[in-house]
Structure 1
Amino acid sequence: MIGIVGIATIFVMVFGGYLAAGGKMGIIIKSLPFEMMMIGGAAVGAFLISNDMGGVKHTIKDIGKVFKGPKWKPDDYRDLLCLLFALIRIQKANPVEVEQHIEDPENSAIFNKYPKILGDKEAVNLISDTMRSASMNYDDPHQVEEVLEKRIEANMHHALHSSHALQAIADGLPALGIVAAVLGVIKTMASIDQPPEVLGTLIGGALVGTFLGVFLAYGFFGPFAGKVKSVVEEDGHFYQLIREVLVANLHNHAAAICIEVGRQNTPSHFRPGFSELEEALKSVKQDAA
């Protein structure tokens, strides 16, 4: 919602200020389709050249994050801590029993209590792979932490591709606007014998290209790139939380301590309160009983 409000604010402030200063929309409206075709078409072409089809689809999909915001909400962090608590308790009590949950999460009664987490393959694989490694005696906390960190960094690098692609477009749009403006000047020079009012209209139309390139770059694509990056980094905390809890588990801390380590490392605006989490964990214990 706030993204739509931001876009509306940009249009109202820019064009409202222009009209309030006595500007006329006629020349902009007349030139806009042709300038947009040149600038927008060149930007799309450059985007296609610099990305493969997977990157193109990824970027188009991620534009929705500007309006949807982070995937993971505060309740999801609480649910994740409850899920990890249940798995760690089982692993400590009966290492063999936990295997049925991490080997087949789709049919796990524990995972199915949290369908949103179950629907995220990376979160499920991160949990399952790490707990499976521990059962195979690959349980050096420092080595596992390093492996998890590299894996999360690699996933983050991939997830930020959309932000980089959008920023590249934003960086190129002002130059493409100049290209369109130069073409408009060339067109104007071909009509140099026309009266001043005609030349003024032609020059104004040419300058629309410069305006449009800068307007799209700093009013839309730049902010879109920044927002996508912000959302991806926010969602990254979810996977960092998995790492913190599972590494704490490898240090042989009690399940409750592992969960508290995770809670303390959760960003403050997502962190569940101690009492709230305690109530949720009591429910987990009762279900297990």
Structure 2
Amino acid sequence: MISIVGILVIFAMVFGGYVLAGGKMGIILKAMPFEIMMIGGAAIGAFLVANEGSEAKHALGDLSKVFKGPKWKSEDFKDLLCLLYEIIRLSRQNPVAVEEHIENPESSQIFTKYSKILTDKEAIGLICDTMRSASLNYDDPHQVEEIMDKRMEQSLHHSLHSSHALQSVADGLPALGIVAAVLGVIKTMASIDQPPEVLGKMIGGALVGTFLGVFLAYGLVGPFATKVQNVVEQDSKFYNVIREVLIANLHSHATNVCIEVGRQNTPGLCRPSYSDLETALKSLKNA
């Protein structure tokens, strides 16, 4: 919602200020369709050239993050800690029994209680693969920790591709605006024999290209890229909580201590209180 408000403020302040200063929208509106065709079309073409099909599709899909915000909310972090608590407790009570849960999480009575987490392949893969690796090599927890770090680094790098791709488009838009403006000047020079009032409108139309290139770059596409990056980095903290809890488990800390480590590493706005989490864990114990 805040992103929509921001976009409305941008348009209202820029074009509202222009009109209040005595500017005429007629010239802009007349030239805008052709300028957008040249600038926007060239930007889309360059975007497709610079990215593979799957990468372009992924970047376009990530535009929804601008309006939806982070995927993981406060309740999701509490559910994650409860899920990890159940898995770690079972692995210590019965290492054999936990295998059926980590091998088939879709049919697991533990994982299916947390449907939103179950739909996230990265979160489930991180939990199950780490628990499986730990069961194979408990004598060297640092090796499992290193594997987790490399996996999370690679995943974050892939997730940030969308923001980098959008930022590249934003960086190129001012130059594409100049290209459109130069073409407008060429058109104007071809009509140099026209009266001054006609030439003035043509020059004004040409300058719309420069305006649109800069406006789209710094008013829309650039902020979109920044927002996507911020959302991706915030969502990555969800996986960092998984990392911290499972690493604490690798070092054989008590189950409650592992969960508290995860709670302390949860972002402040999403961190469940100690009492709320304790209540949730007690209900799991009673169940």
Q: TM-score range with shorter-chain normalisation?
A: over 0.9
Secondary structure of the residue aligned to 2:188 is helix
Q: State how far apart, in whole Å, the 2-side matches of 1:105 and 1:139 are.
A: 26
Superposition deviation, residue 140 in structure 1: 2.0
Is residue 263–residue 271 contact of structure 1 (8 Å, CA) maintained in 2?
yes
Shift of 1:194: 1.1
Q: What secondary structure sits across from 1:63 in the alignment?
A: helix
1:21 and 1:157, CA in 2 relative to 1: closer, same or farther beyond 3 A? same
Question: What is the distance in 1 between the residues matched to 2:275 and 2:48?
Answer: 51
* 1:68 corresponds to: 68
2:42 is aligned with 1:42: yes
SS at match of 2:29: helix
Alpha-carbon contact 2:134-2:141 (below 8 Å) kept: no
In structure 1, C-alpha distance between the alignment counterparts of 2:167 and 2:124, rounded to whole Å: 31
Report the secondary structure of 2:270's partner residue. Answer: coil
- The alignment status of 1:233 with 2:233, answered yes or no, reads yes
The equivalences for 1:1-289 within 5 A come to: 1-287=1-287
Q: CA deviation at 1:141?
A: 2.3
Counterpart amino acid of residue 9 in structure 1: V
The 3-state SS of whatever aligns with 1:143 is: helix
Post-superposition Cα deviations, 1:83-119, rounded to whole Å, max 9, x if no partner, equal 0000111111111111111111011111011000001
Distance 1:212 1:27 in 2: 13
> In structure 1, the residue corresponding to 2:268 is in which secondary structure?
coil
Q: Could you tell me which amino acid in structure 2 is paired with residue 144 of structure 1?
A: V
TM-superposed CA distance for 1:138, in Å, is: 4.6
Task: Give me the whole-angstrom Cα distance separating, in 2, the residues matched to 1:146 and 1:10.
Answer: 45
Equivalent-residue separation in structure 2 for 1:73 and 1:139 (angstroms): 35
Separation of aligned partners in 1, 2:201 and 2:116: 57
Tell whether the 8 Å contact from 1:139 to 1:250 is kept in structure 2 after alignment: no
TM-score (norm 1): 0.98
**Cα-Cα RMSD:** 0.8
- After superposition, the C-alpha distances for 1:152-174 in whole angstroms (9 at most, x for unaligned) are 01000000110000000000000
Unaligned runs of 5+ in 1: none
CA distance in 2 between partners of 1:62 and 1:269 (Å): 23
Task: Please list the CA deviations of residues 202-238 of structure 1 after superposition, one character each: whole Å capped at 9, or x if unmatched.
Answer: 0000000000000000001000000000000000001
Identity of aligned residues (%): 71
Give yes or no for contact 2:81–2:262 (8 Å, CA) kept in 1: yes
In the superposition, the TM-score normalised over structure 2's length comes to 0.99
Distance 1:99 1:230 in 2: 36
Cα contact 2:134–2:144 (8 A) shared by 1: no
Runs of 4 or more off by more than 4 Å in structure 1? none
